[in-house]
Each structure stands twice: as C-alpha cells, then as structure tokens.
Amino acid sequence: MSAHPRLEARVSAQERRQNNLEARIEELSEDMTASFKQVSDYLNKIEERLDQSEVTKATKEDIRTITTTLNQHTTLLTQILELLSKDEK
C-alpha cells in the first residue's frame, strides 16, 4: 500500500477542486458586477443632482457618502483577493 493516493483519486480530487474554484470565481464575478452597477447608478444619481442644482460643489454629505461607498468596495475587493489567494495556495 502506497503512502500516496492513487493517481485516479488525485486527478478526481483536483478536478473537483477546479470545479469549486471556478464556481466561486463566477459567484465573485457576479457580485463584483452587481457592486459596480450599484456604484455606477449611485454616481449617475449624484450627477443628475448636480445637473439639477445650481451648486457646482459636492456637499460634505456627498463626500462622506462617496467615501463610505468607496471604503465598502475596497473592503469587498480585499476580501475577494484574500479568497482568491487562499484558493491558489
């Protein structure tokens, strides 16, 4: 009896892992697409507000909201990169 699993078992395990990784990447991709759409929609709303307003400067609240949104997306991207790097190891 060998200390290592048979070649067929190792290949099968590798194929399952590959399928799992591909599914996770697809899910992350869908999440990122949705997040980018939300950011785009939000920025369009801000642009519309600025177009309708005589004010040409962002308010402090606009800047706080944008900063919060950017921080949330930075956190999400960091989490995604961490997940992907764990899967590569």
25-79 pLDDT, tens digit per residue, is 999 988 888 888 898 899 888 888 877 765 557 788 888 999 999 999 999 998 8
End-to-end distance of the chain based on CA atoms, in angstroms?
A: 28
- DSSP 3-state assignment of 49? helix
Residue 2: the pLDDT is 64
Asked if residues 73 and 35 have their Cβ atoms less than 8 Å apart, the reply is: yes
Q: What is the mean pLDDT of residues 80-87?
A: 83
pLDDT at 52: 73
